[in-house]
Amino acid sequence: VTGANGIYNTDDLKNMAVEVDELLKELVQNANAVGPDGNYLFSGTSTKTIAFDVVMGNVEGSGYPLISEVRYQGNVDINKIEVDENAYIPVDSSGNRTFWAEQQKLLSSRDLSMWQAREDSVISVDGQEVSITAGDNVYAVAAKINNSGAAVKASIDPVTHGLDLVTTDSRQLWLSDKSGSVLEDMGIIKDASQKPPYNIATGVSLSGGSLFDTVIALRDAMLRGDQEAIGGRVLGSIDAGMSNLSSRLAKLGSDFERAQVNVERDSKTALNVTNLVSREGDVDMTQAIMDLNMLDTVNQATLSNAGKMYSSTLLDYLR
């Protein structure tokens, strides 16, 4: 990595940081893309809520405020697009999955070896509800999380005896108490007045950031002239983020193709088979086409971001 081997001086790196900051702004703009119906594409089912909010702050090496944090404002619920009668395609385009760079890890330091659930409760892990029975211990909770279908692996720390959680792919942890206070009592999240994903309790170790965090880290390392950081963890995180974005893009592309095939098939059926007019009349083709257009827009927005991340504009700084 040229930038990390001392070829560029501090002034060169600061000039590069300016361009990386512009790339960051473009990335945020694309992540807040709006579909043809005016809905935000990467907010989960909270389509009227902007997907990502920008926090400005002072950054070492810069004489003016820059983007210091990008926070997800949507949810992790999955949209469903109807492509046929009683047939739906799930569209998982939540921004804190699509634009995440690393697996997120939560390490709890609280000793839970003697902990037991006080009452029947329900917790939510990555959008999956997990029922907890009064008397369950931490091992039972971990087992139920692992069997819930959530993209999260739970384990008990052999040293602290706390509950550790790690996502199985690049995504942000999403934890809440739906009823009861199991996760709060375990010291993992704050009280119910705090909403995910920014409700993790103080004292809990959390690692694994978003694509925005990675680009911010690259820009800040350039501003500081920290060549070691540029060629170390930052480079690995960017690779992971691009890999995740490509995987999400491939999934969205296959969903779009499937939706397109179904809409075309239904259109031909509605036009050519008169004895099925009554049944096909129940299918709102206008809505189906709008849904298809929305999925296509999500696909194109993700493709746009993948193109930006793969472009030489950013990668040239890392050679």
Closest by CA to 94, choosing from 170, 183, 25, is 170
Distance CA 54, CA 213 (A): 12
pLDDT of residue 280: 53
Each residue of 248-260: pLDDT tens digit?
A: 878 877 877 777 7
CA distance 319 to 314: 10
For residue 206, is pLDDT > 60?
yes
**Would the CATH topology of 2-102+210-318 be identical to that of 105-207?**
no
- Please provide the average confidence, as pLDDT, over all residues in the chain: 86
Beta-carbon contacts of 252 under 8 Å, excluding residues fewer than 6 positions away, are: 91, 93, 295, 298, 299, 302
Return the higher-pLDDT residue of 85 and 241.
241
> Is the confidence at residue 289, as pLDDT, over 70?
no
Q: What is the largest CA-CA distance in the chain?
A: 75
Per-residue pLDDT tens over the stretch 79-120? 887 766 777 888 888 999 999 999 999 999 899 999 999 999
User: Can you spell out the DSSP letters for the chain?
Assistant: -GGGTT-S-HHHHHHHHHHHHHHHHHHHHHHT-B-TTS-BTTSTT-TTS-SEEEEEE--TT-SS-EEEEEEE-S--PPEEEEEETTEEEEE---HHHHTB-SB-EEE--S--TT-B-SS-EEEEETTEEEEE-TT-BHHHHHHHHHTTT-SEEEEE-TTT--EEEEESSSB---EEEEES-HHHHTTSB--TTSPTTS-BPTT-EEE--BHHHHHHHHHHHHHHT-HHHHHTHHHHHHHHHHHHHHHHHHHHHHHHHHHHHHHHHHHHHHHH-GGGHHHHHTS-HHHHHHHHHHHHHHHHHHHHHHHHHHSHHHHGGG-
Q: For residues 319 and 301, what is the distance between their CA atoms, to the nearest angstrom?
A: 27
| CATH class assigned to 2-102+210-318 | mainly alpha
Q: Which CATH architecture has domain 105-207?
A: 2-Layer Sandwich (3.30)
Q: What is the pLDDT of residue 305?
A: 62
Tell me: the pLDDT tens digits for 210-239?
999 999 999 999 999 888 888 777 888 888
Contact 100, 151 (CB under 8 A): no
What are the structure tokens assigned to 51, written together? 């997907």
For residue 158, give every residue at least 6 positions away whose Cβ sits within 8 Å of its Cβ, in sequence order, or none.
Answer: none
Two structure tokens written together for 249? 């893009």
- Which pLDDT value is given to residue 281? 54
Which region among 1-10, 16-25, 170-179, 183-192 has the lowest average model confidence (pLDDT)? Answer: 1-10
pLDDT digits (tens, 9 = 90+) for 57-85: 999 999 899 999 999 999 999 988 776 67
CB atoms within 10 A of CB 10: 13
Distance CA 247, CA 34 (A): 21
Q: Are 87 and 105 in contact (CB under 8 A)?
A: no
Residue 301's pLDDT band (boundaries 50, 70, 90)? low
Q: Please give the backbone phi and psi of residue 201, each rounded to the nearest 5 degrees, phi first.
A: -65, 150
Query: Within 13 A of 168's CA, how many CA atoms are on the CB side?
Result: 11
Domain segments of the chain as ranges: 2-102+210-318, 105-207
What are the Cα distances from residue 108, in Å, to 105, 157, 171? 10, 8, 19
CB count, 10 Å around CB of 141? 26
Residue pair 97/261 in contact by the 8 Å Cβ criterion: no
Query: Do residues 81 and 295 lie in contact, with contact meaning Cβ atoms separated by under 8 Å?
Result: yes
pLDDT per position as a tens digit, 120-142 = 999 999 999 999 999 999 999 99
CA–CA separation, 44 and 189 (whole Å): 22
